[in-house]
Amino acid sequence: MSYFLISLISLVLFLFCACDFQQSYPKKEAKNPGNSPFHEQLEKEISFARGESQPGNWPRTIVLDHTTRKWNTGESILEKRKFTIPAKPMRVVSHAVGITEILWAILPRERILGFHESCASSENSALSKEFKERGPFFSGAQTEQVIAWKPDVVFVVSYSDQTFQKALWNAGIFTLDLGYTGDWSGLKKQILFLGECLGEEGNAKKLIQTIEKYTSELSHKFSHLKGIRVLDYSSFDTVSGQDSTFQILCDILGLANIGKEQEIQGFKTVEAEWILKQNPQAIVFCAYPVKQKLEKNPLLRELQCVKMGHLVYMESQYLSSISQYMIAAANQLAERLNALYFKKP
pLDDT of residue 68: 84
pLDDT for res 300:
96
Instruction: Please tell me the predicted confidence (pLDDT) of residue 7.
Output: 46
Give the per-residue pLDDT at 220: 95
Please name each of the domains of the chain with its CATH number: 8-43+223-338 (3.40.50.1980), 52-212 (3.40.50.1980)
Q: What secondary structure, in 3-state letters, does 133-185 show?
A: HHCCEECCCCHHHHHHCCCCEEEECCCCCHHHHHHHHHCCCCEEECCCCCCHH
pLDDT (0 to 100) of residue 265? 87
The pLDDT of residue 73: 66
Q: Over the chain (345 residues), what is each successive 10-residue block's mean pLDDT?
A: 45 46 38 83 97 88 88 77 95 96 98 96 94 94 94 91 91 94 91 97 98 97 96 93 93 97 92 97 93 94 95 91 95 95 54
Q: Are 204 and 194 in contact (CB under 8 A)?
A: yes
- Residue 136 exposed, middle or buried by CB count within 10 Å (0-12, 13-18, 19+): exposed
The predicted structure's pLDDT at residue 53: 83
Q: Is the pTM of this model over 0.75?
A: yes
